[in-house]
Amino acid sequence: MKASVICASLLAGFAVAAPEASKKYNGTPSKPTYDKDCDKNGYYKGAKGFPIPFTSTYRVKAVPEEVVNMMNAKTGGLPGAVGFYDLGINSELDTICYYIRLYNIRGEYSSPARTATHIHESARGMSGPPRIAFPNPQPVAGKNYRVSVGCLTGPFITGLTNNATGEDQGAGFRVAQIEANPKGFNADVHTDFADPAQGINALPGAVRGQLAY
């Protein structure tokens, strides 16, 4: 797939701001306002790729409508939220580089895994175990979104145990498995935001998107 970089020049030297105080949710999520270098869907315009010899790249737009719970039932996620995951893989080095940007995320990150931002192994509409845990995106000074950027190299650790093997859910996983079946993997993020009156529960996932459809 064609390499891409999400919409802001943050691959080096970005400043992280202190989290803002939680704002009361009024039931009407606002539409994200993207930077001037983004297209209408939030993707960066004119990206030239990342200077690493990737064997594959993936551009993922994660939305609330794709979120399912452990019973494979759609939950609706976190209305108004959206996530962009630009991923570059070098399968020879078992390395994945990521540039993640989240808009309109509410609540605190929450997951039994070591972080709340993941790649899960599961087909569209199905739940599945996390295989990679990314650092959670953090607020950026002067921006209206949160960002996480970097690279991870296997062995991968999620902090969750596979009950069948007693090992971590990331044990033995290699990024080449994503390349072999990108439709079988999704990117997501989880928070503790809930509004029972409106049927909102972001714990199963705030946003989600398959690496391929």
Helix/strand/coil (H/E/C) assignment for every residue in 57-101 = EEEEEEEHHHCECCCCCECCCCCCCEEEEEEEEECCCCEEEEEEE
* Total of domains in the chain: 1
Confidence of residue 144 (pLDDT cuts 50, 70, 90): confident
Residue 179, in any domain of the structure: yes
CB-based contacts of 71: which residues, under 8 Å, 6+ apart? Answer: 127
Residue 42, in any domain of the structure: no
Residue 37, in any domain of the structure: no
Residue 39, in any domain of the structure: no
Residue 102, pLDDT above cutoff 80: yes
CB-based contacts of 62: which residues, under 8 Å, 6+ apart? Answer: 82, 83, 84, 85, 186, 187, 188, 189, 207, 208, 209
Residue 1, in any domain of the structure: no
CB-based contacts of 192: which residues, under 8 Å, 6+ apart? Answer: 107, 108, 109, 110, 202, 203
Distance CA 198, CA 81 (A): 15
Residue 85, in any domain of the structure: yes
Residue 16, in any domain of the structure: no
pLDDT of residue 51: 58
* Least confident stretch, 34-43, 138-147, 181-190: 34-43
Residue 111, pLDDT above cutoff 80: yes
Residue 87, in any domain of the structure: yes
Write the pLDDT tens digit of every residue in 35-83: 666 777 776 564 455 556 899 999 999 999 999 999 999 999 999 999 9
Give the residue numbers spanning the domain of 118: 56-210
| Residue of 40 and 173 predicted with greater confidence | 173
E strands, the chain, where?
A: 56-62, 82-90, 95-103, 117-121, 130-134, 138-139, 145-153, 185-189, 194-195, 200-201, 207-210
Decide if 207 contacts 77 (C-beta within 8 A): yes
The two counts, helices (H) then strands (E), for the chain are 1, 11
